[in-house]
Structure 1
Amino acid sequence: MADRTGGSYHTMEAETQEHPPSGLARWKLIGPGIVVAATGVGAGDLVATLIAGSRFGYALLWAAVLGCIVKIALAEGSARYHLATGSTMLEGWRSLGRWTSWYFGIYIVIWGFVYGGTAMSATALPLSALFPGVLPFWAWGALSGILGAAFVLMNRYEIFEAAMKFFIGLMFIVVVGLAILVVPNLGQALAGLVPTVPEGSVIYTLGLIGGVGGTITMASYGYWVNAKGWRTPAWMGMMRLDNRVAYIVTGIFVIAMLIVGAELLYTAQITLAGGDRGLLDLEAVLAERFGSTVATIFLIGFVATTFSSILGVWNGVSLLFADFVRQLTDKDHADRRDLETTPAFRFYVLWLTFPPMILLTMGRPFGLIIAYGAFGAFFMPFLALTLIWLLNSSRVPAEWRSGWLSNGLLGIAAALFVVLCLYELVGLFI
């Protein structure tokens, strides 16, 4: 059973329940939010949070918390549009004008090529460290991409969700365990909840608020909500519970990484390398401080973080691409096929996997990086601003339009991402 909202509807919830359960039974259905959270937290987010903690201690803890609140608003807005209208985000964007299709089509092709290489490279780093000399670096990256593609193409949503829950559970246990191991200073942590911006921390502050917890995959949340079998406004409360639980978990995860940075690195004045390789520096610090067993456990959590992002992007962004192609080829929107079964979905999974392998063996072409940075920097402002537009328009029934709180948070998100976008563009060309 499928409709235009995309995804796969072969879950037990979709087949047997028209309305969500009440009480404790609701908690058993939590899942799509976990998927988007696990996908959104990648190695780069861990490094950014660690570096913030290593440079400023607990001073930016408030920014990490605010960032999770902002992401709750963005994800909720995306899923609310799906549930309230029965339309997808791609249909919503297309209703704003053909310019959205031009932008999104160019963006998703460039982004997919570069992100595919980045994600496979990030997964290869801990695998190479765990199994030194077994395979060359590029082979670990290629293997992780191929395994991710095979899993996504061979399994339906319910299996995919179960795998993502496993990975985020592993990530959570490892990272929170490390935070407990380094013995956090609770007094300083509580003081860090009071907003302050230390000298030289402006960009780190904005990055913590805007960068942790997902980018384009936040637009996939509505598709995963539909795939779970939640397809009408009756599921709005269930979706909001799911979303809040997921980002509370993400918030604890981010706070734990900042604690590790503050206690393990800030106090010892240890500097990490930039990019994903900074996590290998942390592994060396952990080995010296706590022994090889703790370092190995951390690398396993590192693998869970990066490989869950592969699975989430390979599935979620491929759903977006499949819906984009449907919008272009099905002018009457009569095609109600399951998006996971379409040639466009399979094509984009393979696009994420095989062409980017070139980037594992050679330097990334400078022109491609410029183009990717320019288009990529605009996506989050695009998402925030178009959500404000859509959710306050007649496209959405009056009872489900945004109120002052949603508009306020989406407005903060839009302003924040515009500033980050401008900073990114200035950094690219100066």
Structure 2
Amino acid sequence: MAQQEQQEQYKARWRLIGPGIVVAATGVGSGDLVASLVAGERFGYTLLWAVVVGCIVKIALAEAVGRWHLASGQSIFDGWRGMGVWTFVFFGPYILLWGFVYGATAMSASALPLQALFPAVPLWVFAILAGLSGLAFVWFNRYPALERVMTVLIGILFVTVVGLAIFLLPDLGSLAAGLVPTTPPDSLFYTLGLIGGVGGTITMAAYGFWVNAKGWHDAGWIRMMRLDNRVAYITTGVFVVAMLIVGAELLNSAQIALTEGDEGLVQLADVLQERFGTFISVVFLIGFFAAAYSSLLGVWHGVSLMFADFVGKIRGHTERPVEERESSWAFRAFLLWLTFPSMLLLLFDRPITLVIVYGVLGAAFMPFLAFTLMWLLNTRRTPAPWRSGIVSNIGLAIAGGLFLVLCANEIYSQLTGV
């Protein structure tokens, strides 16, 4: 009887998983898919180990975000405010500039597979429709509806991307050999980028807000959050490994090179059509759309929640329920900011200065998140039972160090053009 009750409790915990699905669907965008695809195309299975390390690093980082929200009963902005005004001075310009540029990126990425399916329609039309539909959905719906839609989209992505990898019959021996850490010539920063790019940037910080939106508000939910978080990044890893398999089996063996932008996925659809016919190509493009559009919906909701809380903390508001933040003027103002000003970038080339500042701020956010969490979770701001232990501290230190190196490389690349 006791064993049956334990099994029922275990099943009940699995049914509660939700924020992890949202963060996985948001984090695995077309950028992650194309990066792992190109890694497989260039290096075969050699960098598989980097994907695994990337998942472990992100598990440590997202767990720290969720643990802070639940153990302290505060949002990440409460923690940052306690560290000094410099944190808000950094984050304010970052989130506005990031939202302006990312809005156009997300709309374009969602439009690419649709334009490949319906070439008679201009790309900008699909991009604008993607932005407007995301705006309407998030404006009129709350977190539970988002979680249901994201579950459907990630299911589509699983069937299409993982199904394609299985269809290509991966070389299991080479796949296992790729778990041994090696760095082929000229692959160091590409390897670090692959580790750092597995599953989101600012959406890592949004995870804590989705945890609260699920109804988890105190330390009693930490165990559940940890299971949810592991499911999220194991799922993310499965998708990225699947695309690496596609790159290795379909492209590396045939010496087919793809571009590194989102256009590379459209090129892959063309390769699939030539090799296997229209049906496989169309199915893949549907998966590509699910990946891109789920990222758009997740950012429209999660980052708008962050902005609403950020504005609330500046105005001195005490902690408000997520439902109240979802209907606040700040939440909806940022939704509009993500959608309409970004459409201007669909019509014009991005100014080079804007690209440089965006690249530097974007690269700086992840070490900022890792090191500030490391500080907050080792001080009296966090109740003693939930402060970071040695494993968490090592994970956060590795994450912060890795992203600091990537940040320095990004700054160098932006300034020199190399």
TM over 0.5: yes
Amino acid at match of 1:22: Q
- CA shift, 1:321, in A, is 0.4
- CA shift, 1:206, in A, is 0.4
Report what 1:50 is aligned to: 37
In the alignment, does 2:139 pair up with 1:153?
yes
Report what 2:345 is aligned to: 359
Structure 2 CA distance, aligned partners of 1:334 and 1:270? 53
* 1:112-159: CA deviation from partner (whole Å, max 9, x where unpaired): 0000001001111111011121x3211110100000010001111111
TM-score (ref. length: structure 2) = 0.96
Report what 2:318 is aligned to: 333
Which runs of 5 or more residues in structure 1 are unaligned? 1-20
Report what 1:264 is aligned to: 250
Aligned residue pairs total: 408
SS in structure 1 of the partner of residue 259 of structure 2: coil
| 1:316-327 correspondence to structure 2 within 5 Å | 316-327=302-313
SS in structure 2 of the partner of residue 65 of structure 1: helix
Amino acid at match of 1:85: S
Report what 2:203 is aligned to: 217
SS in structure 2 of the partner of residue 270 of structure 1: coil
Report what 1:36 is aligned to: 23
* 1:197-226: CA deviation from partner (whole Å, max 9, x where unpaired): 111111121011111201001101111011
Q: 1:76 aligns with which of 24, 49, 63?
A: 63
Report what 2:4 is aligned to: none
Structure 2 CA distance, aligned partners of 1:389 and 1:170? 39
- CA shift, 1:335, in A, is 5.4
Q: 1:289 aligns with which of 275, 296, 308?
A: 275
Q: 2:218 aligns with which of 232, 250, 255?
A: 232
- CA shift, 1:333, in A, is 2.4
| 1:28-427 correspondence to structure 2 within 5 Å | 28-133=15-120, 135-330=121-316, 333=318, 338-427=324-413
- CA shift, 1:168, in A, is 0.8
Report what 1:16 is aligned to: none
In the alignment, does 2:6 pair up with 1:22?
no
Structure 1 CA distance, aligned partners of 2:10 and 2:52? 28
Q: Does structure 1 conserve the Cα–Cα contact (< 8 Å) formed by 2:198 and 2:237?
A: no
- CA shift, 1:374, in A, is 1.4
- CA shift, 1:334, in A, is 6.4
Amino acid at match of 1:234: G
Which runs of 5 or more residues in structure 2 are unaligned? 1-7
Amino acid at match of 2:324: D
- CA shift, 1:22, in A, is 2.5
Amino acid at match of 2:286: I
Q: Does structure 1 conserve the Cα–Cα contact (< 8 Å) formed by 2:74 and 2:319?
A: no
Amino acid at match of 2:318: H
Question: Which aligned segments of 4 or more residues in structure 1 are displaced greater than 3 angstroms?
Answer: 334-337
Structure 2 CA distance, aligned partners of 1:334 and 1:238? 23
Q: CA RMSD in A?
A: 1.0
